[in-house]
Structure 1
């Protein structure tokens, strides 16, 4: 039996909040320096107008309050990021379908994709490129209806095997009459690790890191 689960994308607001905090802190420090310099260099015979001084103190207070609020928000988002990571850990061992044509190849696992066509596909021309954009393999395989799976074990034309890494699939389908059938490609593979970087959770699938936001489906096969 196969069950599928939809997964929501995590927030990356933690990184935004951190950037905002850094800017506000910088503005706060600069404002304080300018105010102090202005007071130290004012003409004793013509001191700063009390109204102007009060206005500047009010601005100083507003900047300080903004920093406190941003710090509090950053703390909250950090906690949410930890929760996202804890929740994502339950994905380990599950088969993931990712909205990407890039799949990972390792010594132990082949690069894997799924395809979907508007109608049955009789044959598929596969073109696989490495991370440098170089085509490393071209082959024609039989189709398996309107939906199916494609795998590549890294075998090259000269009999050697491609190095582990990320590979991109370009595929063109044809029906039994030779008419082109557009295909939608998605990378697949089991989730091995989860990691949180700057508030964004990534999944380790077939040796490459994939943003959780690209995850479109999970499959759990049993029995």
Structure 2
């Protein structure tokens, strides 16, 4: 059964994701407070020791205060945005928690461990034929096979042209559209992979698939129960 909703968890990930943000925010606030005190002392000294025959215009004082106040407000705004971003990421992580142990569908690379894999080829409207191309982790083509448009999902057995099984590892599968003998396009093929972990990376929730393949949660197109 496919599900189109997003949901994730990981106490370790939460700690690593929020600590830098909170620390940076505290540092900014402390620095700003210190700078503001220095600024006030300088402003007081400027007023105290100004030339009585040529005093500084009160408008200049107001401008200086307004400028520093604007900087202070900007720092506080950035701090609030950082905290909000962290909270949103944590919320997304919590939503994705139930995905662990299930199978997620995406067009990312797939980990082959000698078990056949269901693949979902895509076809191009202008193509008169389609081929499935398989490449290993090094980008080398290891298999090419025809695909009949409209056939739906097929099973990839993971065998070389001579019939021998391909070694376990990471593979990229793509649909190649051909028209009049010329390649007109190539798109990644979608597959299902078991979700082993969910975590926050660069402030966003990501899904870790079997074999350590990391996919943004937004790039998962379907979800189903694991086949065991």
Instruction: Give deviations 1:35-69, integer Å, cap 9, x for gaps.
Output: 68986997x55454321121111121122122223
Shift in Å at residue 130 of structure 1?
3.5
Q: Which of the numbers 210, 216, 223 marks the counterpart of 2:221?
A: 216
CA distance in 2, matches of 1:50, 1:110: 80
Map of 1:103 onto structure 2: 109
Q: CA RMSD in A?
A: 4.6
How many residues align? The count is: 202
* Secondary structure of the corresponding residue to residue 195 of structure 1: strand
Residue pair 2:131, 2:175 contacting (<8 A) in 1 also: yes
Q: Specify every segment of 5 or more residues in structure 1 that has no aligned partner in the other structure, as ranges.
A: 175-179
Residue pair 1:7, 1:215 contacting (<8 A) in 2 also: no
Map of 2:2 onto structure 1: 4
Relative to total residues, which structure has the larger strand share, 1 or 2? Answer: 1
Instruction: Give deviations 1:154-198, integer Å, cap 9, x for gaps.
Output: 758695844633x32233479xxxxx9x88622321211111113
Q: Which of the numbers 162, 166, 172 marks the counterpart of 1:168?
A: 172
Q: 1:52 to 1:91 in 2, by over 3 A?
A: same
In the alignment, is residue 84 of structure 1 matched against residue 89 of structure 2? no
In the alignment, is residue 56 of structure 1 matched against residue 64 of structure 2? yes
CA distance in 2, matches of 1:45, 1:151: 84
Q: Which of the numbers 104, 115, 132 marks the counterpart of 2:121?
A: 115
Q: 1:160 to 1:214 in 2, by over 3 A?
A: same
CA distance in 1, matches of 2:114, 2:198: 19
TM-score (ref. length: structure 2): 0.63
Q: 1:65 to 1:157 in 2, by over 3 A?
A: farther
Q: Specify every segment of 5 or more residues in structure 2 that has no aligned partner in the other structure, as ranges.
A: 9-16
Q: Trace 1:63-74 onto structure 2 (pairs within 5 A).
A: 63-74=71-82
TM-score (ref. length: structure 1): 0.64
Residue pair 2:115, 2:157 contacting (<8 A) in 1 also: no
Map of 1:177 onto structure 2: none
